[in-house]
Chain A
């Protein structure tokens, strides 16, 4: 395509340049009823899965329909969202912090029209474009990352596993039958962009092999001290190697100290470590961010390795479904997954969920590891011990 200028002049890059204007003010995009009743809301109720009703002191009501979003979406899809908003909601809509889409209307009649319209829309492949749900004690959208779509340090994909897991969890997205909400998140490497460290179920990509050191170009493209200080276990040291009779600066990796976090590759492009058969997924459970009843919790590793199985990740999805099912059956009302596991004891959690406990789950990172071991005689006998 021919070049079409936006008016920017590359010869005078600073001319007419607008900076530091920040985002648009959110009030510009309020629906009228939101603007009018801001700060004056009386109560809300969940009418049915995916549909909320907020009532204001003035007597106004606003219905919100929450629909699932794939997060990664085309302009065509965004335009379709806009078309729906134009048709039913006066051109207004919003996205949630879990990347769902919310449409707001003021009357029950408009609500029914909106719901019927949303439910009728499907992709050619058959999947719902705008599935309604994600409210109350459900599995709402999965907070996830870039994966093989755009990042250079992933150990697994993001969009693929998320689609596979949500297909398996779809009934829980469209219902409110769980003891409490179950938040699932995915990060494609240990950088943990997003919320895996504080989610009921966290899916994290991991490596199992140390980095390859490209001695021939390392000193040229890396700042060696940064690569050394990037290592949490002190496995990297500076060294000199001989290449074609020439001594060059490089680094040496002590493989027995390396736990394959990949931080050094983040800092130094000459230390790649991704591997087809080595990489996979760790499953973490029991995190939460809210202060409700118990304090916020980190999620904990319960499955040390699940292989990457594109395109549907069957082992992963089966395991998650099983954990959610056992939790749904056994936990008390209002009890989050982490609260449940701590109440029954982690040994019982492993037994009920049929998870194999391996030594990988035992913390061995610095002094705080000690506090995760059991300094008590209080425990329950499980089938793990009998075996």
Chain B
């Protein structure tokens, strides 16, 4: 497993750039990931999605279904893609520090 050094923090990541440990997450991680995810400027809308994903993960131990993400944040899937061009899984979950999505993806 590779280790990323960024602004004095080190993050353990896998080959797809997902955090290996949720506890390693901090704001520097979001800043580090945003470039590779095609995001220029972090807006409050980005933060709203990231915060909700983290809350949901802490509470339930899983990432929310896309419909739940849409319903709670009020953002349609199209808008989520505008915020995170790689989509809610590869983009938003990676930035929020959640584990890599699994299954037949």
Partner-B contacts on A (CB < 8 A): 13-14, 191, 217, 220-226, 266-269
Contacts and interface: CB of A to CB of B under 8 A. Distances in A.
Given A13-B38, A13-B85, A14-B38, A223 B104 contact: no
B89 interface: no
B61 to A, nearest CB: 5
A152 to B, nearest CB: 10
B63 interface: yes
Contact of A220 (B22, B102, B104): B22
A266 B104 contact: yes
A239 B103 CA distance: 22
B98 to A, nearest CB: 8
A222 B103 contact: no
Contacts of A221: 14, 20, 99-100
A267 B103 contact: yes
A267 B103 CA distance: 5
Name the residue in B14, B21, B61, B103 with the highest tally of chain A Cβ atoms < 10 Å from its Cβ.
Answer: B61
Contacts of B100: 221
23 contacts: A13-B38, A13-B85, A14-B38, A14-B85, A191-B104, A217-B20, A220-B20, A220-B99, A221-B14, A221-B20, A221-B100, A222-B99, A222-B102, A223-B57, A223-B61, A223-B62, A223-B99, A223-B102, A224-B61, A225-B60, A225-B62, A267-B103, A268-B102
Main secondary structure of the interface of B (DSSP, over half): loop
Nearest to B19: A220
Interface string B62-105: 11000000000000000000000100000000000001101110
Nearest to B102: A267
B22 A225 contact: no
Contacts of A13: 38, 85
B102 A226 contact: yes
Contacts of B60: 225
Interface residues of B, number: 16
B43 to A, nearest CB: 15
A222 B14 CA distance: 13
A370 B62 CA distance: 36
A266 B104 CA distance: 8
A217 B100 CA distance: 13
Interface string B2-34: 000000000000100000111000000000000
Contacts of B102: 222-223, 226, 266-269
A75 to B, nearest CB: 26
Contact of A266 (B14, B61, B85, B103): B103
Contact of A226 (B21, B22, B62): B62
B77 to A, nearest CB: 13
A267 B100 CA distance: 10
A226 B85 CA distance: 26
A268 B102 CA distance: 7
B90 to A, nearest CB: 13
A221 B24 CA distance: 13
A340 B62 CA distance: 48
A220 B103 contact: no
A224 B57 CA distance: 11
Given A13-B38, A191-B104, A223 B85 contact: no
B80 to A, nearest CB: 15
Contacts of B21: 220
Contacts of B103: 266-267
A196 B6 CA distance: 49
B85 to A, nearest CB: 6
Name the residue in A217, A221, A267 with the highest tally of chain B Cβ atoms < 10 Å from its Cβ.
Answer: A221
Q: Which 10 A-B pairs have the closest CB atoms?
A: A13-B38, A223-B62, A267-B102, A220-B21, A225-B61, A225-B62, A221-B99, A224-B61, A226-B62, A220-B20
Contacts of B22: 220
A226 B63 CA distance: 10
Nearest to B82: A14
